[in-house]
Structure 1
Amino acid sequence: MTHHRRTTISVRLKELLPILAVVLTVGAIAGLTVLAPRLGDARQASADASSSPSADTLAASPSASPSASSQPLPKFKTLDAPPAIDKIPKKPKIDPCAVPRNLTVMTFNIKGGRVSPGELGGIAGVIRDSGADVVLLQEVDQNRRRSGNVDQPAIIASQLGMQSVFGANDYITDRGGYGTAILSRFPIDSFDNTHLPNRDGKEQRGVLRASIIVEGQRLVVFNTHLDHTSDSLRQAQIGAVMSKVNAYDGAKLLGGDLNAGSGSGVLSTALGVLSDAGAALGASHDGGGRVDYLLPNSWLKAGDGRVTRTGLSDHHAVSIDFAMRGAEDC
C-alpha cells in the first residue's frame, strides 16, 4: 500500500516538473524585464559620477560644455564690474571769450635803485595802494652794494604776494646787476630780457618781456627804459623794441620810461601799433615832463588812470585800469 502511494506521488511529480519549469522560466523573464532598466540607470549614473565634473568643478571651469552632464547647469550670480578709479581732476577750462578781464597796470621808475632796504616797503605800499596787478619797474638793483646787497624786485614782490622777474642790463658784479623788473599778481608763464642797440660810453638798455596768464588768457608785457642822452639812439632802441613787440600776437602792452615827450618821434614809432592809454594824465616826472608810458594794443581798453607822487623817486607812479577783451574769434 505504501509502495503504491510513493509510486503514485512520483508519477505526479514527474507530470508537474515541466509545468513548474515553465512557471519559473516565465517568472525569471518577467523579473529580468523589470530589473534590467534600473540596473542600466545605476551603471550609467556610476559612469557619469566617475567621468563627469561635479557642479563645483563646472562652476570653476567656465569652458565646460553643458552636454557633459544630463542635468542642467546651476545658475551663477553675475558679478558687478569693479568701480572705475577716479582720475586726477583736470583744471577747469576758462572760456577765452569771457570778458572783460579787468586788471590794473603800473609803471614806476624807482630812482636808480638808490633806495635803502627799508624804503622798499614804501615802494611796496605805493603799489599796494594803487591796486596794481602788474607792475613795471625801472632802475632796479639786484644784489648791489649801493642798495644794501639785496634782491630788490624779490623783496618788493614778497611784500605784495606777487611773482617777479628781473632783466639785468648792466652787470656790476658777478652777483647782481641793474635793470628792469616785472611784478605780477597773475602767473608769469615765461620771460626774457633783450639788450637794445647801444654806443660806446652809454649805459646798456634793454627790454624785458613777460608772458602773463590773466584768468586763462595770455597777456604779453614789455618793460623798457630808453637812453636819456641821445634822441637818435632812442630812435634805434624803440625800433628794436617794436620789432620784438610785433613778434607777438594777442593782448600786449609796452610800458616804462621812454625818456621822450608826447610829441616825440620815439612815441610816434610806438603809436604806429599801440595806443597811448595815459595821454590825459599829465606829467610823470618831478621836472614837469611826461616820460613814463603805458601803451596797449587794441585788445586792452583803458579805463581810469592815476599819477601818484611820492618822495621815494624823482618819477611818479603811473597806473591805469584795463579791460582785456576775449580771443579774436569771439
Structure 2
Amino acid sequence: MTRHRDRNRSARFKELLPIFAIVLTVGAIAALTVLAPRLDRAEKASADASTSPSAEPAPTTSGSPRPLPEFKKLAAPPAIAKVPKKPKIDPCAAPRDITVMTFNIKGGKVSPGELGGIADVIRASGADVVLLQEVDQNRRRSGNVDQPAIIASHLGMQSVFGANDWITDRGGYGNAILSRFPIDGSGNTHLPNRGGKEQRGVLRADIIVSGQRLVVFNTHLDHTSDSLRRTQIGAVMSKVGAYDGAKILGGDLNSGAGSGVLGAVLGSLSDAGASLGASHDGGGRVDYLLPNSWLAAGDGRVSPTRLSDHHAVSIDFAVRGAADC
C-alpha cells in the first residue's frame, strides 16, 4: 500500500516539472526586462563621472593631498591719482593792492543825470571799493531810480544797498557799497536811535579780493548829538569786532579828530587818512577810512566836487593779511 502511494507521488511530480520550468522561465525573462535598462543607465552614469573634466580628482591613497591648481595672477589696477589740495594762500607773500573810497553824495538829492558825474569821480580815483552815504533808492525826490545800481552800472561794479529809512512802500534811503571785486554776502544793521532822530545804520559787505575775504563796513552817524553818536559807534564797533581777518570801516562819522567817537574806533583800527585834511566844504574832517592791521595804507587823495558838500576821500591799501607782515 505504501509503495503504491510513493509511485503516485512520483508520477505527479514528473507531470508538474514542465509547468514549474515554464513559470521559472517566464519569471526570469520578466526580471531581466525590468532590471536591464536600469543597470545600463547606472553603468553609463558611472562611466561619464569617471571621464568628466569637472569631476573632482579622487583622493590619493598615499595619504598626502593633491596640490591645488595654480590660478593666473592678474595685474593690479593702476592707482587713482589723488586730487591735489588747494594751495594755502600766504597772506604775507603777495599783497593785494586795492583803492577804497568813501563819498557822501548829499542826501541823494542829485538828479538821475548827475549820477554819471558821481561815477566819473569814482572812475578818476581808480577806486575798487566805494562806500556811499545818503543814497536814495526809488524815491520821488531823486527821480524814482535805483541810485546805487545806476552808479554801479556806469562802472561795471556790483552794489549792495542798506535802507535805514523807508519813505514809501518802495523808496529807501541809506548807505551803499560798490565793488569791482565779487561781493560774497552783505547785511545791514540799524543803529541805536532816539525819538525824532533820523534812523542810521551800518552796512556790511564781504568782498573777495584775489581769493581773500575783505569785510567792509559803511556807516553814517547822527549829526545832532554827540552822546547818540557815541552810542552808535559802540554798536558799530561791536559789529566790526565780530569778524576776523582783513576789514575796514568807513563813512561819515560826523566827528572830528580828538573826538570820543574817533577814540572809540582807534582802539582796534587805524586812521589811514589822518594827514589828508578837510573832507567837507565847511572845512572839517568827518569822512574816514579806518582799516585794521591786515591792511597797510598807502597814498590818499581828497577830491572836492560840485555834486556834494562832501569831498570824495580815496586811499590805496595793500591787503597783507596779518599784523606782522
Is 1:292 matched up with 2:292?
no
What secondary structure does 1:99 align onto?
coil
What secondary structure does 2:154 align onto?
helix
Aligned length: 270
Aligned counterpart for 2:258 among listed residues 249, 254, 263: 263
Matched with 1:13 is none
2:293–2:323 CA contact under 8 A, matched in 1: no
Aligned counterpart for 1:210 among listed residues 205, 214, 221: 205
Aligned counterpart for 2:190 among listed residues 170, 195, 199: 195
Question: CA 1:116/1:199 → structure 2, altered by over 3 Å: closer, same or farther?
Answer: same
- Alpha-carbon distance in 1 for matches of 2:220, 2:310: 13
Aligned counterpart for 1:231 among listed residues 220, 226, 233: 226
Matched with 1:113 is 108
1:299–1:324 CA contact under 8 A, matched in 2: yes
2:105–2:135 CA contact under 8 A, matched in 1: yes
Measured against aligned partners, the alpha-carbon deviations of 1:218-237 in whole angstroms (never above 9, x if no partner) come to 11110000000000110110
- What are the ranges of 5 or more consecutive residues in structure 1 without an aligned counterpart? 1-46, 54-74
What secondary structure does 1:319 align onto?
strand
Matched with 1:245 is 240
- Alpha-carbon distance in 2 for matches of 1:303, 1:209: 23
TM-score by length of 2: 0.74
What secondary structure does 1:322 align onto?
strand
1:94–1:215 CA contact under 8 A, matched in 2: no
TM-score by length of 1: 0.73
1:259, distance to aligned residue in structure 2 (A): 0.3
Is 1:326 matched up with 2:321?
yes
Amino acid at match of 2:144: N
2:250–2:290 CA contact under 8 A, matched in 1: yes
- Alpha-carbon distance in 1 for matches of 2:147, 2:85: 36
Measured against aligned partners, the alpha-carbon deviations of 1:178-226 in whole angstroms (never above 9, x if no partner) come to 0000000111111100000111110000000111111111111100000
1:255, distance to aligned residue in structure 2 (A): 0.2
RMSD: 3.0
- Alpha-carbon distance in 1 for matches of 2:174, 2:93: 36
- Alpha-carbon distance in 1 for matches of 2:170, 2:153: 20
2:215–2:248 CA contact under 8 A, matched in 1: yes
1:96–1:216 CA contact under 8 A, matched in 2: no
2:109–2:141 CA contact under 8 A, matched in 1: yes
Identity of aligned residues (%): 85
Listed as ranges, the matches of 1:61-72 within 5 Å are: none
- Alpha-carbon distance in 1 for matches of 2:323, 2:290: 19
Is 1:157 matched up with 2:152?
yes
Aligned counterpart for 1:173 among listed residues 168, 179, 184: 168
Question: CA 1:327/1:284 → structure 2, altered by over 3 Å: closer, same or farther?
Answer: closer
